[in-house]
Structure 1
């Protein structure tokens, strides 16, 4: 097909893996904590955001060169609007059915999740519609939407003037967030929504991960070959973080908050960024070899090809599980938690297959990107 950008199945598989890890983490079972951050002090959220940025840069950068920046910008905005509609649907479910079930079933996991909504419903609903109030589990899409909205401006500038300025400003914003930029701006503006209820992800930090992925994806050259002198320390650091994570748990050093800040997920602490970078170096170095020796993970590809639908489905399933079965702190037989996870994954695969079946019947190509990243 002319001008079609061939899908890369390994990227779909990686994003499918991120969705599996997110589901294991977000489902309120006894396996939530053990399976969280399985590769060290780095989570599926970092991988998901970075991969989404890389694919957006690859597809929309190609679109800008082929059809012009105006068409590219329009495609970004259409995608962001679709994401916003998904977020509104999830919020509507949370503020109505899930909130009622949480109160009716006396499930503290739900009432805690929607705490600000129960305190000030009007401010919560208005703030959520404006992407200012983002309850737990519902705070990833707002970050994604904001980054999608700013990306066409970043791409347009970078395609005309280069990436040096964009990357420099992004790095400075990340550094400023390590010193509390977001909290300082919140106090300066005086928003009626508490800072903790605006979402766990600190946008000024996470934009750096997105901008880096966008830059790498928009490059017309393949990813650079990593020199050996970088691979060895990256492997040592990644291995050390992996052992540390599984020896002490997700709190790297209980009772020493300064160390926790260096590895903080929500502000992307510097040691955490280094952990992600080390895993990335290893993946880029050994990925081609793994691609040759491992069988294609078709189930993961299926999830990754339909990532938006699957992502929303996993949030819905997690919310209903919280409303009926409670939080991970609730003691349940292991068999019950296994059944909950099995049912959740069955639901995710059913959603992915239903979306593909619908699009196949509608005549849409499943193996190419045409008007933007088909990250349904």
Structure 2
């Protein structure tokens, strides 16, 4: 077996940072809105999805070259099954304990989040199991599962025939979503099958748009060539645009121009509007250029590495903690003392680190069944 390269700790640290930002955003405290999109009109979700795709391309691309395409496909399917089982566990918790607590405690944040379940429980449960009904907070893993199932074909096509065709089709699907392609497909399916799940209850993320972010990350992760040195004519516009978006975000707030909805569509998160994609690309370019220097001068963030190393477990834990917080303490609309919100956040992060440390200890003791993401990545 060829020598296994060291794990890229900086990628783990970035994923850990994305998990911290998502927790700050999803926890229903007074700090939720201010902490959202701190780097401009770019959220932690974009970073998390892109990094996950990049690492998938890196790990499974090596697996394909070393062990063959069937082994790569089997590894993808194994990971997708694990993600699906995690999603089923979160749904079971939400549709039972959390739903009951929301009604018992009269917490509108929970009953609103599970609105379709209370309207049509049977359709909600069946639809959720089929990844068609995706309540808020529970709509990220279905996107991840779908892309993990599609990735073997994408990676196979890219490695055998080049990535140009894959990227072109992905770009066309993203462009089509900007003009309502996803809603058109939904309307057609409803007309043919009578699907009872409303469009808004299928999840906030428009998959036809977000697949482009995944495909781009998968392509870059699967590259064997070293990163090229970016010229100044690329870095300068990226710095100007990223800086302008950063200032605009913190002056205007989350809604860029409330009186001009067209601009909001260009920066829309759920359909990855064009200006938002450009904002993400600008931040990515700057991070790629400054990354080696940052790795040298900044202290190594071991705490973030720990979270990123066990990102799936930590991600699921943050959803569970957010759901219980909603069920007991209410949504961001509930006025609470700032000390209570600080205590809730401290308890949430303590829970995340406890989960990460438990998983770490279990892996080191060799008691974790199956092949973990970490073990797979180190074995490549």
- Gap change, CA 1:250 and 1:71, over 3 Å in 2: same
Residue 79 of structure 1 aligns to a residue in which SS? Answer: helix
- 1:281 paired residue number: 285
Shift of 1:133: 0.2
- Structure 2 gap ranges (5+): none
Q: How many residues align?
A: 373
1:332 match: 336
2-side partners of 1:370 and 1:84: how far apart? 20
After the TM superposition, which parts of structure 1 deviate over 4 Å for at least 4 consecutive aligned residues?
366-370
Note if contact 2:61-2:155 (Cα within 8 Å) is conserved in structure 1: yes
Displacement after TM superposition at 1:368 (Å): 9.2
Alignment partner of 1:357 out of 358, 361, 379: 361
Relative distance call for 1:92 and 1:368 in structure 2 (3 A) is: closer
* Native 8 Å contact 2:24 2:32 kept in 1: yes
Shift of 1:35: 0.2
Q: CA deviation at 1:355?
A: 0.2
Q: How does 1:232-311 map to 2 (within 5 A)?
A: 232-311=236-315
Pick one of 176, 181, 198 that aligns with 2:202.
Answer: 198
Going from structure 1 to structure 2, the CA distance change for 1:122 and 1:44 (only over 3 Å counts) comes to: same
Q: Secondary structure of the equivalent of 1:6?
A: coil
**Whole-Å separation in 2 of the counterparts to 1:367 and 1:292:** 30
Range moving further from structure 2, 57-66 or 215-224? 215-224
Shift of 1:223: 2.3
Write the distance in 2 (CA, Å) between the matches of 1:71 and 1:163: 21
CA contact (8 A) 1:7 1:368 kept: no
Cα distance in structure 1, aligned partners of 2:173 and 2:372: 37
**Secondary structure at 1:7 match in 2:** coil
Shift of 1:308: 0.2
Q: Paired residue for 2:23?
A: 23
Distance 2:73 2:378 in 1: 13
After TM superposition, the score normalised by the length of structure 1 is 0.97
State the distance in 2 between where 1:12 and 1:288 align.
15
1:79 Cα deviation after fit:
0.1
Instruction: Show structure 1 runs of 5+ residues with no match.
Output: none
Quick one: distance in 2 between partners of 1:287 and 1:372? Answer: 21
Write the deviation string for residues 175-203 of structure 1: whole angstroms up to 9, x where unpaired.
00000011000000102110100000000
Is the 8 Å Cα contact of residues 7 and 377 (structure 2) preserved in structure 1? no
Distance across 2 between alignment mates of 1:373 and 1:74:
18
CA 1:342–1:19: 2 relative to 1, 3 Å: same
Is the Cα–Cα contact under 8 Å of residues 37 and 43 in structure 1 kept in the other structure?
Answer: yes
RMSD: 1.6
Contact 1:6 1:369 in 2 (8 A): no
